[in-house]
Amino acid sequence: MARLTFYGHACFLFEKNGIKLLFDPFLSGNPQATVAADEVEADYIFVSHAHADHLGDTYEIAARTDAKIISTAEIAHECQNRGLNAHAMHIGGKFKFEFGYVRVTPAFHGSGISGGHACGFIVNLDGFTIYFAGDTGLFGDMKLFGEIEKIDLFLVPIGGNFTMDLDDAVYATKLTGTGTVVPCHYNTWPVVAADPDEFCTKVSDNTAGRCLVLAPGESADF
Ligand code: NI
Ligand code: MN
């Protein structure tokens, strides 16, 4: 069994086989956060980019838990310079970890760090595949990801302004041929306001995917 927990904004915890994967742990200062940075547990921390609403509490959590940070090289090196445990990857790269393999995908967005890139992650654990899109606009290669991977779970931003809005995210769900889609990166602040129920209705009407809305703090089992 696997469990996905939404901690608000774009922060998720995915647990399978006793391994905890934490994505974009922005908790301090996150109006939606349902857990404190000093309470959350992680074995691995995925960082899509270095904007404060994604890098968030990564340094503090990694220092406390000794979790390994997985990110693009510039961010991973910054973590290593701070004495943290980090694995540097880059866009298009694939690597096999103890829990499964990770592909780093492009994300059309700023990096938040000098010389860096924003990214997304495709994570395969025992054949269960998650695509965490990161902060990104819609792009056609999402279709390619759906062809080379069977995406079971798509974690996608719907808030617009900085990322895809919900209509683009519906299209992305269709392109990726996703099984279950969970929206994120919305209603944290007024500038990213979006209606998740409208997103789900449009997912049902336009894709073969299943939409699952998690309120901050809520979990779902897979
Ligand atoms: Ni960002
Ligand atoms: Mn963001």
User: CB count, 10 Å around CB of 4?
Assistant: 23
Q: How far is the CA of 10 from the centre of ligand 2 (A)?
A: 7
Q: How far is the CA of 110 from the centre of ligand 1 (A)?
A: 6
pLDDT digits (tens, 9 = 90+) for 112-166: 999 999 999 999 999 999 999 999 999 999 999 999 999 999 999 999 999 999 9
2-209: which CATH architecture? 4-Layer Sandwich (3.60)
Residue 68 is predicted with a pLDDT of 98
Please state, in angstroms and rounded to a whole number, the distance separating the CA atoms of residues 89 and 103.
9
Q: How far is the CA of 52 from the centre of ligand 1 (A)?
A: 8
Please state, in angstroms and rounded to a whole number, the distance separating the CA atoms of residues 88 and 31.
30
Q: How far is the CA of 51 from the centre of ligand 2 (A)?
A: 7
Q: How far is the CA of 140 from the centre of ligand 1 (A)?
A: 20
Please state, in angstroms and rounded to a whole number, the distance separating the CA atoms of residues 116 and 59.
18
Query: Is the whole model's pTM more than 0.95, yes or no?
Result: yes
> Where does the pLDDT of residue 201 fall: very low under 50, low under 70, confident under 90, or very high at 90 and above?
very high
Q: How far is the CA of 125 from the centre of ligand 1 (A)?
A: 26
DSSP state, residue 137: -
Q: What is the mean pLDDT of the chain?
A: 97
Domains of the chain: which residue ranges?
2-209
Q: How far is the CA of 164 from the centre of ligand 2 (A)?
A: 11
